[in-house]
Amino acid sequence: MKFGIVVFPGSNCDHDAWYSVTHNLHQEAELLWHDSSSLGDVDAVILPGGFSYGDYLRCGAIAKFSRIMAAVRSFACDGGLVLGLCNGFQILVESGLLPGALIRNRGLKFICSPVELRVETTNSPFTSMAQKGRILRIPIAHGEGCYVADAHTLDALEAEDRVLLRYAANPNGSLRDIAGICNAGRNVMGMMPHPERAADPLMGSTDGLVLLQSMVASPALQVK
Amino acid sequence: MTQFPPDVLARHNLTEAEYRKIVGLLGREPAFTELGIFSVMWSEHCSYKSSRMHLKKLPTRSKLVVQGPGENAGIIDIGQGYAIVFKIESHNHPSFIEPFQGAATGVGGILRDIFTMGARPIAVMDALRFGPLDDPQSGPRNRRLLEGVVGGIAHYGNCFGVPTVGGECVFETSYGGNPLVNVFALGVVRREDIFYARAAGDGNPVIYAGAKTGRDGVHGATMASAEFTEESKEKRPNVQVGDPFLEKLLLEACLEAMQTGAVVGIQDMGAAGLTCSTCEMGGRGQVGIEIDLMHVPQRETGMTPYEIMLSESQERMLLVAEKGRQEEVFRVFRKWGLDAVTIGRVTSDNMLRVKDHGAVVAEIPNAALTDAAPMYDRQRTRPYRTAPMKGPTFRSMDLDADLRKLLCSGDLCSKQSIWRQYDHMVRTNTTLGPGADAAIVRIKETGASVAMSLDGNGRYCSLSPREGAKLIVAECCRNLSTVGALPVAATNNLNFGNPERPEIMAQLVEAIEGMGEACAFFETPITGGNVSLYNETRTGGELTAIFPTPVMGVVGLLPTQMPVPLSFRNRDRDIVLLGGPGGCDELHFGGTQYAKHILDDLWGLPPALDMDYEKRVQAAIRQIIAEGLAESSHDLSDGGLAVAAAECCFSPGNIGAALELDTDLRPEFSLFHEAPSRILISTTHADRVAAVAAQYRIEAPVIGRTVEGRLTIRNRGNTLIDSPVETLRNLWEGALEHLLHAQDRHV
């Protein structure tokens, strides 16, 4: 399986995502330049963390206009797997591929720390290999990771089983402890924590790998 | 005698004698732009005129040193074709004037020093000094400075994508009017990809890349070379504003441009901006550089040649490319959305020639700005000190309360609320992060890891700059050894007061000599660094100098492996005090944290150091870790045995310790003295640890066992300390937040 990892100006977890896919997951990965209009032959896309376009205006607000996002959008519409991590999640909500918004952390400060996440459902290509209720220890590193949406949207996310991960102890004020969600088609996921930082035993946890392994095992890929 | 009135020279921090020297070197009076160029290049900050002759006493070589002082950063060979590039630099003065941007651009500046050599930055650490957070008068300002500086470091490092893996933060009254912000950065490079800041090749194009030039930071270097007054805050326009996003692009573009093979030499524009980069690149390459300012990208209109040459706008680089291949360089910068233009060319006449629309506005031999810069053998007497040799008589009423108070002090409490604002994990190399004795980052390319530690105990140095500096080197090396790394090289940041005061100059010289002696002994040559003088504040009529504060950054090497943690992991382990209990008397107790926080006093001398014994203790712990005998490892430093033992208990598992001492020392000494050469380990192999200790002829008594949830320390049956771990931990963890915010809640 080949992952495409988008490099925006200011992405800084692109290499970490690449390394975790190639060295910890033992799959292929290719870096995709933001100015490219094609995703090539990749089977899944990762939008990595960082500060795309300096996070000017709003996190992810400028990245959504980059050329490659048009390709990512149509890839997603065709059922392709797209995983947005941290800044990638912010880009996905700015792009309208996921609902809601990510605003300043409740404490107003950047937080870098391992956190505990609870797997809320295995009904997604990103969590199928995990067990419901399992606690994953994965780091966060963000200043604007507080997930918000109107009550109607939140109710719908829950009713449709689209909340994939919740914080066991909410670090940033996210409504209903939401750490990661997927779209209605269940092929686009955004999450603030960094699974690529929890993929190597030397980093203290390998709990993030299960998300990437789920993607590899996804039937969506066989259909495609 | 000059065409400039005395106040103009004074504003340029140039003396009459220095001006006469300029006239002599040029054979004529300087033009105004030239005066500005001389003033920044001959400033203390750029010329090291007060320290240069003494810095020569430092050891700078070893088998591993690829590049010593004189370049943008030092370089050490780490094997398998790779090298690490590292340096420490201060941004004290800008951070006092504008803490957020001052600290942010401090990070930006040192990062450029690393990647200008072709290395990708993989770690940052910082050493911070502020006035006390709970001081009734200056507390609010000190808290604001701390929050601003930490915010600035986080802002820049997090966005740039370099992990801030550790550091230290200390509070002393002497830093109240003059905080210290020293930033250390380290990068990794393939040996064949190292670049130097040397111009070469007559006719080769000189290329300007990165941010446009504005009026910000004009005269930053001269500002950093004068004392502070209350009016300094009016110098805010002198402070630069950083853009970490632009720097990230600049990093990627520079590393990619270097791969084209078209780049001959490259230097960042840091202090003294375009001036420093042009004359230094020319000087190192034994060539000249000629530029025309009309080509320099400008952010503001109507800038004079003087302003353009002296601007310290951030995120700018100067490159020399091979003639005819500049388009290859431009293409890379365009890809990253950055300005890159040819602004001049390399010449063969060893001159810095600056034109403005074709008209020469400055024409100075490189050597006049660099090698011929003034060098002073400044007068010195005995090091300044006010502390008496003899201390007060004292007797503790409650040793448990003393320990709690120490754990709650700004100096010793957990700094987690600072470092969790720093992304310390990005690049997924940090195997040991903030809060440990030393930080460790793995080098993915080689299977080796690099450990690093910063230390700079100004309190010790105020009692004896020479012995204090030795203790700092020993402590840094011990921190590295404690995590299993072999110390191999160092960088230093010398923060002192006004060198024109003979008693301050004496502090500087003694500290350098002590540091040199220790670095030679521990085989950690100094490959570069920074000198920050004039760290004094005049309030009213009184001039206050900071404690003499040489901050060392030492790097070490070890195989990539799971790190040995600082804190206890399991119950029922033997606790060994490697190096033994150490000695102490009243004279050597006056610089301790106990004297500071419990007795509010300072006297005598710093702890006594036996460098030979220290070296053997360090060799022993490295071998113990290499043989996998230590389950946890933590060195004793500030706060002594009791504080170190408490820190070892702050593990995820609520493991405590029952220690039984056998000493004649009075309890305050045995618990809190700070003699070096001591490391606390927990182990299931006490016998094998003892064998290693015997091999190195060091003491290694088993002083207790790990237990569930309680820290007790007894001496010959008498209970000295008996506290639940949870109580101590809660105090230690919450203290900094309390110091920062308790006062706000009462307003």
Tens of pLDDT, residue by residue over B637-686, are: 999 999 999 999 998 889 999 999 999 999 999 999 999 999 999 999 99
pLDDT above 90 covers what percent of chain B? 90
* A83 CB neighbour count, 10 Å cutoff: 29
The answer on pLDDT for B108 being more than 80 is yes
Q: What is the CA radius of gyration of chain A?
A: 15
B427 in contact with A at a CB cutoff of 8 Å? yes
* A197 with B425: Cβ contact below 8 A: yes
Nearest to A87 by CA among A185, A196, A221: A196
Q: What CA–CA distances, in Å, run from B629 to B113, B621, B622, B632, B646?
A: 39, 9, 10, 9, 21
Decide if B12 touches A, using CB distance below 8 A.
Answer: no
Provide the pLDDT for residue B222.
Answer: 62
Say which CATH number the domain at A158 has: 3.40.50.880
Of A19, A20, A139, the CB nearest to B425: A139
Best mutation site among B124, B416, B426, B445 for testing chain A: the one with the most A CBs within 10 Å? B426
Contact state of A13 with B562 under an 8 Å Cβ cutoff:
no
Residue B229 pLDDT exceeds 70: no
Known catalytic membership, residue B738: no
Instruction: Choose the weakest-confidence range: B5-19, B244-258, B640-654.
Output: B5-19
- Rounded to whole angstroms, what are the CA distances from B204 to A114, B281, B345, B346, B515? 51, 13, 5, 5, 42
**A224 lies in some domain:** no
CA A147 to each of CA A122, A195, B343, B610, B664: distance values in angstroms, whole numbers, following the listed order? 21, 18, 48, 56, 60
Residue A62: its chain B contacts at CB < 8 A?
Answer: none
Find the mean pLDDT for residues B204-217. Answer: 93
Cβ contact, residue pair B426, A201, below 8 Å: no
Nearest to A10 among B248, B420, B426 (CB): B248
Residue A224: the pLDDT is 47
For residue A197, which residues of chain B lie inside 8 Å, CB to CB? 425, 428
**If residue B658 lies in a helix (H) or strand (E), which one and from where to where?**
strand B655-661
B415 touches chain A (CB under 8 A): no
Contact present, B379 and B505 (Cβ < 8 Å)? yes
- pLDDT band of B747, cuts 50, 70, 90: very low
The answer to whether A53 touches A13, Cβ cutoff 8 Å, is: no
Query: Is A144 contained in some domain?
Result: yes
* pLDDT at residue B527 greater than cutoff 60: yes
- What residues 237-296 of chain B have any CB closer than 8 A to a CB of chain A? 243-246, 248-249
State the burial class of residue B344 (Cβ atoms within 10 Å of its Cβ: 0-12, 13-18, 19+).
buried
Q: What is the percentage of chain B residues whose pLDDT exceeds 70? A: 96
For strand B316-321 and strand B263-268, is the pairing parallel, antiparallel, or unpaired? antiparallel
CB–CB of A112 and B422 under 8 A?
A: yes
Q: What is the mean predicted confidence (pLDDT) over B534-545? A: 83
Query: What residues of A are in contact with residue B337 (Cβ under 8 Å)?
Result: 9
**Is A72 a member of any domain?**
yes
Q: How far is A141 from chain B (nearest CA, A)?
A: 6
Chain centroid offset of residue B451 CA: 15
The verdict on A139 touching B (C-beta cutoff 8 Å) is yes
Q: What is the mean pLDDT of chain B?
A: 95
Q: Is residue B209 scored above 80 in pLDDT?
A: yes
Contact A50 B161 (CB under 8 A): yes
Closest partner CB to B562 (pick from A51, A143, A202): A202
Give the neighbor-by-neighbor strand order of the sheet with B164-171. Answer: B65-67, B74-79, B82-90, B180-190, B120-130, B164-171
Q: Could you say which of A54, A113, A197 has the minimum Cβ distance to residue B428?
A: A197
At A131, which amino acid appears? Q
Banded model confidence at residue B217, pLDDT cuts 50, 70, 90: confident
Q: Is B295 a catalytic residue?
A: no
Domains in chain A: how many in total?
1
Q: For A208, list phi and psi in degrees, rounded to 5.
A: -75, -20
pLDDT for the residue numbered B228: 56
The whole-angstrom separation of Cα A122 and Cα A134 is: 10
Tokens at B156, concatenated: 């820049």
**Interchain CB contacts (distance < 8 Å): A and B:** 78
Residue A110 to residue B159, Cβ atoms within 8 A: no
Could you give the CA distance from residue A156 to residue A162 in angstroms, rounded to a whole number? 8
Please calculate the CA angle B503-B507-B513 and round it to the nearest 5 degrees.
140
Residue A47 and residue A6 in contact, taking contact as beta carbons nearer than 8 Å: yes
Q: Closest approach of chain A CAs to the CA of B159, in angstroms? A: 6
Q: Give pLDDT, residue B270.
A: 84
Q: Which structural domain, as residue segments, surrounds residue A89?
A: 2-217
Q: Which two tokens stand for residue A194?
A: 């960094």
Does A112 reach chain B within 8 Å, measured CB to CB?
Answer: yes
Contacts of B158 (CB under 8 A, 6+ apart): A51, A110, A112, A141, A143, B164, B244, B422, B423, B426
Locate the chain A residue with the closest alpha carbon to B243: A54
Minimum Cα–Cα distance from B337: chain A residue? A9
User: What is the CB neighbour count within 10 angstroms for residue B388?
Assistant: 12
Burial of A45 (0-12, 13-18, 19+ CB in 10 A): buried
Catalytic residue chosen out of the listed positions B45, B155, B588, B597: B45
CA distance B453 to B447: 20
Closest CA to A186 of A108, A79, A86, A102: A79
Q: Mean of the pLDDT values across residues A164-176?
A: 98
Please indicate, yes or no, if residue A222 is contained in any of the structural domains: no
Percent of chain A with pLDDT over 70: 98
> Where does B464-501 have alpha helices with state H?
465-482
A20 touches chain B (CB under 8 A): yes
B220 against B366, higher pLDDT: B366
Cα end-to-end span (Å), chain A: 12
Q: Which residues of chain A neighbour B108 with C-beta distances below 8 Å? A: none
Look at residue A221 in the predicted model and tell me its pLDDT. 67
For residue A10, being part of any structural domain is answered with yes
Query: Residue B313, SS3?
Result: coil
- Average pLDDT value for residue range A137-160: 98
Q: How far apart are CA B93 and CA B219, in angstroms?
A: 12
Locate A92 and state its tokens: 């996905």
pLDDT at residue number A222: 56
> CB of B337 within 8 Å of any CB in chain A?
yes
Contact B299, B313 (CB under 8 A): yes
Measured in angstroms, the CA of A43 and the nearest CA of chain B are apart by 24
Our CA-based measurement puts residue B275 at a distance from the nearest CA of chain A, in whole angstroms, of 29
Phi, psi angles (nearest 5°) of residue B284? -65, -35
In B, minimum Cα distance to A107 occurs at B421
Residues 6 or more apart in contact with residue B90 via CB below 8 angstroms: B106, B180, B181, B182, B183, B493, B495, B530, B532
ipTM score for this prediction? 0.97
Distance CA A135, CA A216 (A): 21
A192–chain B Cβ distance below 8 A for any pair? no
Contact A111 B421 (CB under 8 A): yes
Task: Kindly report the nearest CA distance between residue A200 and chain B, in angstroms.
Answer: 9
Q: Does B430 touch chain A (CB under 8 A)?
A: yes
DSSP B694: H
> Residue for token digits 């230390």?
B455
In a domain, A210, yes or no: yes
Binning pLDDT at 50, 70 and 90, where does residue B7 land?
confident
pLDDT of B231 > 90? The answer is no
Residue-level pLDDT at B644: 98
Q: Determine which of A19, A31, A36, A110 to mutate to test the interface with B (most B C-beta atoms within 10 Å).
A: A110
**pLDDT value of residue B241:** 86
- pLDDT at residue B368 greater than cutoff 90: yes
Q: Calculate mean pLDDT across residues B301-326.
A: 95
Q: What is the largest CA-CA distance in chain A?
A: 44
d(CA B121, CA B186): 6
Active-site choice (B12, B54, B91, B597):
B91
B740 — pLDDT class (breaks 50, 70, 90): very high
Answer yes or no: do A12 and B337 touch at CB < 8 A. no
| A173 close contact with B: CB closer than 8 A | no
The per-residue pLDDT for B741 is 86
Torsion-angle region of B498 (φ positive above 0: left; ψ -120 to 50: alpha; else: beta): beta
* d(CA B479, nearest CA chain A) in Å: 20
Q: How far is A207 from chain B (nearest CA, A)?
A: 14
* The predicted structure's pLDDT at residue B406: 98
* A 141-160: CB under 8 A from B: 141, 143
Q: Does the pLDDT at position A9 exceed 80?
A: yes
Name the pLDDT band for A220 (thresholds 50, 70, 90): low
Nearest-by-CA chain A residue for B442: A202
Q: Would you name the residues of A annotated as active-site residues?
A: 86, 194, 196
